[in-house]
């Protein structure tokens, strides 16, 4: 059996300030959508939280950002990329709290 590494999945949950207008929320989504311009980022998805009435669902975020990287090293390069840092700075006034992040990499076994 050979171990196969799958891409590193990076998920970020953002809680926007209650004072954000619909136009400001659109601005946030638009700016986040440009992160796929950064080398190493692929399968970028930016979405709003959807109310499903599931009591298990997280409620304390408004925007979910999901992307994949080929390696942890690519994620670390993204973290200090100038475009990424500029986006973070430009959105700081709209975000209510520190982002919540989930990183995962699934190990598959080939038979």
Query: Tens digit of pLDDT for each residue in 41-73?
Result: 999 999 998 788 888 877 789 999 999 999 899
Neighbours of 92 (CB within 10 A): 8
Burial class from Cβ neighbours inside 10 Å (0-12, 13-18, 19+) for residue 73 reads exposed
CA distance 16 to 19: 8
**pTM confidence score:** 0.85
With a cut of 70, say whether residue 37 has pLDDT above it.
Answer: yes
The whole-chain average pLDDT of the chain stands at 90
- The candidate with the shortest Cα–Cα distance to 58, out of 15, 111, 105, 16, is 15
- What element of type H or E holds 32? helix 22-32
- How far apart CA 50 and CA 39 sit, in angstroms, is 30
CATH number of 17-57+67-106: 3.30.70.100
DSSP β-bridge partners for residue 31:
none
Beta-carbon contacts of 51 under 8 Å, excluding residues fewer than 6 positions away, are none
């Amino acid at each position: 059996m050979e171990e196969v590494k799958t891409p590193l999945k990076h998920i970020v949950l953002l809680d926007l300030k209650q004072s954000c207008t619909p136009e400001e929320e659109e601005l946030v989504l638009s700016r986040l959508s440009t992160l796929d311009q950064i080398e190493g980022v692929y399968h970028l998805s930016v979405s709003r939280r959807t109310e499903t009435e599931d009591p298990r669902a997280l409620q304390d975020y408004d925007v979910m950002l999901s992307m994949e990287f080929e390696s942890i090293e690519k994620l670390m390069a993204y973290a200090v990329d100038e475009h990424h840092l500029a986006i973070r700075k430009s959105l700081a006034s709209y975000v209510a709290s520190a982002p919540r992040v989930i990183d995962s990499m699934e190990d598959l076994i080939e038979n």
